[in-house]
């Protein structure tokens, strides 16, 4: 399956935007795991902006960045949102509230804890009425999102924005489901090469028994990649930033992987 990447959005610790991060991805020795700063979603009306949690802010930030970099109108783009846990802080707060004698769950927290809440906020912010899918597949969430987006691009012959994000849990859930940092990325995928295309992806779903091949990564960046489900996108981001032709493997559901050959446009 062949698709093209027109625009990318990226937010992670020490990775502040795709264009700013490209030199660091090419030379990870210069990368430092600085605290993540998530911008306010200025595209949202004031009331929704106050209600938006970190997961929504992350998803909207990288989604809009990818569209800006591709010079695309977000209101006419199909979207696929993927996350292993959604708004983890809201889920934690809801669990705390339900553990009390008189459980009272905040309506805003409950609303944000719904897995497709970022898609709803996206529709408000972008004024999009295009179709949207929200996925969850534990550590394989990015790979499943990429596969689902690619199928949509090729079958519908439409531009699709893949938006992957994850937010850490708080104590005590983080002891059983550790996510070391918030991380988000977005890929604007097209069925054909355009003047704004920056990379070509040839994607195959493979038997997972073969040992995955990854680009050489800084040890700390490798920890970020393995410690954050959305961070499983880092090998692909590194390959695109390098501008070289190479293959990366992304772990998918048990027994399968995605083999992605990346080449510059």
Report the pLDDT value the prediction gives residue 185, as an integer from 0 to 100: 98
Which has the minimum average pLDDT: 65-74, 112-121, 183-192?
A: 112-121
How far apart CA 59 and CA 126 sit, in angstroms, is: 12
> Which letter, b or e, does each residue of 197-219 get, where b requires 16 or more Cβ atoms within 10 Å of its Cβ?
bbbbbebeeeebeeeeebbebbe
Is residue 87 pLDDT above 70, yes or no? Answer: yes
Is residue 211 pLDDT above 80, yes or no? Answer: no
- Read out DSSP for 170-238? -TTHHHHS---S-EEEEEEEESS--TT--EEEEEEEEETTSPPP-----HHHHHHHHHSGGGGGHHHHH
CATH number for the region 2-196 comes to 3.40.47.10
238 — phi, psi (to 5°)?
-65, -45
Is residue 215 pLDDT above 80, yes or no? Answer: no
3-state secondary structure of 161: strand
> What's the whole-model pTM score?
0.93
The mean per-residue pLDDT over the stretch 74-96 comes to: 90
Domain spans of the chain? Answer: 2-196
- The DSSP code for 127 is T
In terms of pLDDT, which residue wins out, 251 or 186? 186
pLDDT, tens digit (0-9, with 9 covering 90-100), for 220-264: 888 999 999 999 999 999 999 999 899 999 989 888 999 999 999
- Give yes or no for a contact between 194 and 6, defined as CB atoms under 8 angstroms apart: yes
Q: How many CB atoms are closer than 10 A to CB 22?
A: 19
């Amino acid at each position: 399956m062949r698709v093209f990447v027109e625009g990318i959005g990226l937010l992670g610790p020490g990775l502040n935007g795709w264009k700013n991060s490209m030199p660091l991805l090419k030379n990870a020795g210069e990368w430092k795991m600085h605290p993540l700063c998530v911008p306010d979603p200025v595209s949202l009306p004031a009331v929704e902006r106050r209600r938006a949690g970190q997961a929504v802010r992350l998803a909207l930030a990288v989604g809009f960045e990818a569209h800006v970099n591709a010079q695309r109108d977000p209101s006419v783009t199909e979207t696929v949102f993927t996350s292993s846990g959604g708004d983890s802080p809201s889920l934690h707060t809801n669990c705390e509230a339900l553990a009390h004698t008189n459980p009272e769950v905040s309506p805003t927290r409950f609303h944000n804890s719904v897995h497709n809440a970022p898609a709803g906020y996206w529709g408000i912010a972008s004024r999009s009425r295009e179709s949207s899918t929200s996925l969850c597949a534990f550590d394989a969430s990015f790979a499943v999102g990429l596969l689902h987006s690619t199928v949509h691009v090729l079958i519908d012959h439409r531009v699709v924005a893949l938006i992957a994000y994850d937010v850490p849990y708080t104590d005590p859930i983080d002891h059983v489901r550790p996510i070391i940092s918030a991380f988000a990325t977005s890929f604007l995928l097209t069925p054909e090469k355009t003047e704004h295309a920056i990379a070509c992806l040839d994607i195959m779903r493979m038997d997972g028994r073969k040992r995955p091949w990854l680009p050489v990564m800084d040890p700390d960046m490798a920890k970020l990649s393995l410690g954050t489900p959305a961070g499983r996108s880092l090998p692909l981001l590194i390959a695109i930033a390098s501008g070289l032709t190479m293959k990366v493997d992304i772990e998918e559901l048990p027994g399968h992987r995605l083999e992605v050959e990346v080449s510059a446009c």
